[in-house]
Chain A
């Protein structure tokens, strides 16, 4: 079986945080301890919904050393493929669910002299765990967190009351903007920058920091891409000798799994590279959406990341 090892859990707490965000708490069904993790890790939550099983990654926001429970916060996306709606509408207290062992693609670089966090909206969640991790050994950190409005500012009160000197909040509707260039200027040598939030914010921060002379090795970002719906298409899996149909609302990876073919994956969000698949033949166009392959690889027509990318055309034959 592909992906990280699985854990059977029950839902022990559902807390509406605000109009859009709900927090879920998971504890093991067998009352055992969960593995510790490192701040920035995510878990892949399995959501059986009729014929489809969605597997969506969510950042763990609880204390990485707390082995009794994991918590995640899910932002409702009314336009998405339904994973977050399933969590919001169908998951009830006491439900048994399957989650994966923690996987970290956004870990702290502990060589850093200082950690500078930039969060946008629900992008706050990995930082909540990282802050708890750093607080254990008196780490040097600073958070700049942009939210749409005070009522949508998830965990703002907790952050500003526990960390009044480190946490800085910006509300869009009050026209508060992160003064990025000024903030980057004068940060001590050895500072690492971490950004998690909408794509536009990540691009802006990476571009600005690079222009200010920050080395790319000191700029960390995490952006999970949810697979986007698209036109249905047909794929031939050469190794398993199967022809499968990818539906409008499912990803290529999900369709491969639905056909009973074990395909590797970890993040399911275009970031980790685990699901990279060789293309044997194609006639048509790829819709590449991952962050893993570079531009040349995207153009080559030799590889695809089935977790987020799609295809439009006549034939696609994969080495799977």
Chain B
């Protein structure tokens, strides 16, 4: 199951759509894990002639299928951090008319969206489609450390060790949700962790 319907929430929470092929001078497609399926769905032959696909497999086996799309440029990297310099270079060289497609986990879409925004693309003009894991990239509001791939609520900050409540309050600048200490008033009174969407 690579598709998940997120429950309705506050306005701060990002809403993802379904990728659609748009006219443009060039196409930058960035995905991790099951996001590959959304790329396979949206790709057209004419799009691939000017497409640059950047893929982070995270253990998924879609590399061969993506390679078969014959995009003008195809890169596979182990992590977002490893792919970041290539993403920044692609955006720095890009011209108006570039279409950006982001798909996969919220963490990769959020970080790539931030890079595209910094490059001058209005965030509302960047297409996104969620696929795969619903784990979140969380920022601890106390120590500012980022904890990746958080699946449970509450969780322990990987940097300062506080017990953090997973909020839907999201920052496009940080590409992260906000984690707030859950037992600040009453130390040690921490509810049992459960899945974020349970």
Let me know if B122 is at the binding interface, CB within 8 A. yes
* Nearest-CB residue, chain A, relative to B117: A111
| From A111, A214, A216, A217, contact of B96 by CB (8 A) | A214
Q: Report whether B95 and A217 are in contact in the complex, using a CB–CB cutoff of 8 Å.
A: no
A111 neighbours in B (Cβ, 8 Å)? 120, 122
- The B-contacting residues of A in range 133-171, CB under 8 angstroms, are none
Given contacts A212-B25, A213-B22, A217-B122, 16 further A-B contacts (CB under 8 A): A185-B25, A188-B95, A189-B94, A189-B119, A190-B119, A190-B120, A211-B23, A212-B23, A212-B96, A212-B97, A213-B25, A213-B98, A214-B97, A217-B125, A218-B96, A218-B122
Q: What bracket does the count of chain B residues touching chain A fall in?
A: 10 to 19
Q: Which residues on the A side are within 8 Å of B119 (C-beta)?
A: 189-190
A112 to B117 alpha-carbon distance, docked (Å) = 10
Known: A112-B120, A113-B120, A189-B119. A215 touches B95 (CB 8 A): no
Q: Could you give, for residues 181-217 of chain A, a 1 whenever the CB lies within 8 Å of some chain B CB and a 0 otherwise?
A: 0001111111100000000000000000001111111
Max chain B C-beta neighbours (<10 A), residue from A187, A211, A213, A216: A213
Q: Is residue B113 within 8 Å, beta carbon to beta carbon, of the partner chain? A: no
The answer on a CB contact under 8 Å between B120 and A213 is no
Measured between beta carbons, the chain A residues less than 8 angstroms from B96 are 184, 186-191, 212-214, 218
Q: Which residue of B lies closest to A212 (CB)?
A: B97
- A213-B121 Cα distance, complex, nearest whole Å: 12
A212 to B125, CA, bound (A): 14
B120 to chain A, nearest CB (A): 2
Query: Which residue on chain A has the smallest CB distance to residue B126?
Result: A215
When the two chains form the complex, which single residue of A185, A216, A218 contacts B95, counting CB atoms closer than 8 Å?
Answer: A185
- Looking at chain B's contact residues, the main secondary structure is loop
Tell me, in angstroms, the Cα distance from A216 to B126 when the chains sit together.
12
Q: Shortest Cβ distance from B173 into chain A, in angstroms?
A: 13
Which of chain B's residues has its CB closest to A109's CB?
Answer: B122
Task: Kindly state the interface size class of chain A when it binds its partner.
Answer: 10 to 19
B91 neighbours in A (Cβ, 8 Å):
189
Which of chain A's residues has its CB closest to B90's CB? A189
Task: Flag whether B5 is at the interface (Cβ < 8 A).
Answer: no
B64 to chain A, nearest CB (A): 30
Partner of A215, one of B92, B94, B125: B125
Determine whether B24 belongs to the interface, using a CB cutoff of 8 Å to chain A: yes
Least distance between A219 CB and chain B CB atoms (Å): 10
11 A-B pairs with C-beta separation under 8 A: A111-B120, A112-B120, A186-B96, A187-B95, A188-B95, A189-B121, A190-B96, A190-B120, A190-B121, A213-B96, A214-B97
B124 at the interface (CB under 8 A from A): yes
Nearest 5 CB-CB pairs, A to B?
A190-B120, A213-B24, A215-B125, A217-B122, A213-B97
A185–B22 alpha-carbon span in the complex (Å): 16
With both beta carbons as reference points, the residue of chain B lying nearest to A218 in the complex is identified as: B122
**CA of A94 to CA of B92, assembled, Å:** 54
Contacts of A113 in B (CB 8 A): 120
Q: Which of B23, B96, B119 has the most CB of A within 10 A?
A: B96
Q: Are A185 and B97 in contact (CB under 8 A)?
A: yes
